[in-house]
Amino acid sequence: MSVSIAQLAQALRERKISATDLTRQAIDAAQQCADLNALITLDDTGALAAAERADRALAKNVGSTLVGIPFVHKDIFCTKGIRTTCASRMLADFVPPYDASVVEQLAGVQAVSIGKANMDEFAMGSSNENSFFGAVKNPWDAARVPGGSSGGSAALVAAGIVPFATGTDTGGSIRQPAAFCGITGLKPTYGRVSRFGMIAYASSLDCGGVLARSAEDCAHVLTAMAGHDARDATSTNAPVDDYVSALTKPLAGLRIGVAREYLGAGIDAGIGAVVQAALKQYEKLGATLVDISLPNAALAIPAYYVIAPAEASSNLARYDGVRYGHRCTDPTSLEDLYTRTRAEGFGAEVQRRILVGTYALSAGYYDAYYLRAQRVRRLIASDFTDAFKTVDVIAGPTTPTVAFKLGEKSADPLAMYAADVNTVAVNLAGLPAISLPAGFSEGLPVGLQLIAPAFAEARLLNAAHQFQLATDWHARMPEGVA
């Protein structure tokens, strides 16, 4: 589906197509593109029932722009009565008894979920190769990764199967796959979208968001997803802006900070050239470029890969074979139950991060690693605070390279972690950021990242939308996709 959510909504309200027919098209497209391996669960029965309810609402001319619009949930959001696996053997047969807040909110506006998207196991990865259900393929080149951990969501949108998908972003897991797949990915401010029912990886970093073709589409979806939730202690009780109305504001006077650290060593020349061209386009639209520095940017990766694994070690301790999830057969003791269940249920990358996190939290190493990483986190956040005294948004490449080949970095975890070099600092600081298509290098999509102060999602969406009105990179589709 290469048309926008607003265009689909208009067609539905003018009875040019029904929600049921639109949903059938999405289901058929998903089945025809099964070789992408982007879906874990296809809920065709539930989707068609929801579409019929949406058609009844449309007949009465009630509801929001999202009524009858098909989409997919990342398989990290709990869905009542539908298995939620987190792409792990540990939860391969887990069927939640409740819905996540994000699931409730999108169901409440009668958007139609057709299933659950593949992902890196427990959201740990940058390539979507760490899934118990197998790797997802990039629609632009099936030999390449779609990015991770929300790679299934990104691939489904890029392939035109659905107009949007939910995702989560702990260190770049929405923005990086959006860049690799040539779509738009929005990570809101930490606390803007409820984490209730979103299976935890790193609780102080995890953030729900949206992947779609355009900033305009993201604005419609964020309107439904954002808001305070008393069930989530980290949810912020702050007013939700009118994201759609904010899209039309001209960019004259917008100050864009260009961080020299984001365009330095390690960034492919082709990526840098595309980003520079995009910045020139912003100047044509009336924005002013300001040279800035984020002096602690180089510390983001080491700080993140202490803090995130430490929180994962704590969060994943609940999977022990006792209460729910995978359980080893015929344990001989409690220790055997724990060790074999976790060894069988968790994949290699999840085990690696649990071990790193447990070590960082252990007696004698807590101060040297975890506490020091938290101090660095404060410095990184302070860098952004200082920068936003003189600029409105910060721009740079989303990723240092285009999508790499399947298996290319699987044997080198450090090289894989480096794929998030420009994204993790945003999560450490709890800020909103968006990745939008800005061009191509080596025949593959390149993403431009924009970062804004806390709760300035409307500013981000406006800046991205105005760029997309002047360019057509977001409208480009992989070969063979309608």
Marked catalytic residue, from 18, 101, 113, 173: 173
- The catalytically annotated residue of 126, 149, 214, 441 is 149
The CA-CA-CA angle for residues 176, 116, 134, to 5°, reads 65
Active-site residue flag, 173 = yes
Output phi, psi for 115, to 5 deg: 160, -165
Q: What distances in angstroms separate CA 419 from CA 172, 248, 399, 445, one per listed residue?
A: 9, 33, 6, 15
Determine the distance from the C-alpha atom of residue 477 to the mean position of all C-alpha atoms in its chain, rounded to a whole number.
Answer: 20
Task: Give ∠ CA 220-119-140 in degrees, rounded to 5.
Answer: 75
DSSP track, 331-362: -SSHHHHHHHHHHHHS-HHHHHHHHHHHHHHS
Structure tokens at 6: 């607003």
The catalytic position among 4, 18, 74, 101 is 74
3-state secondary structure of 167: strand
| Contacts of 446 by beta carbon, 8 Å cutoff, 6+ apart | 179, 270, 271, 274, 275, 397, 398, 402, 437, 438, 439, 440
Q: Is 389 a catalytic residue?
A: no
Q: Is 435 a catalytic residue?
A: no
Please report, for residues 37, 176, 230, 240, 432, the alpha-carbon distance to residue 227 in angstroms, rounded to integers and kept in the order given.
Answer: 32, 25, 10, 6, 15
What b/e readout covers 369-388, taking b as 16+ CB neighbours within 10 angstroms? bbeebeebbeebbebbeebb
State the number of CA atoms in the 13 A half-sphere of 73 facing the CB.
34
CA angle 140, 141, 142 (to 5 degrees): 120
CA angle 443, 446, 450 (to 5 degrees): 170
Residue 142 contacts by C-beta under 8 Å, 6 or more apart in sequence?
Answer: 35, 36
Q: Which residues are catalytic?
A: 74, 149, 173
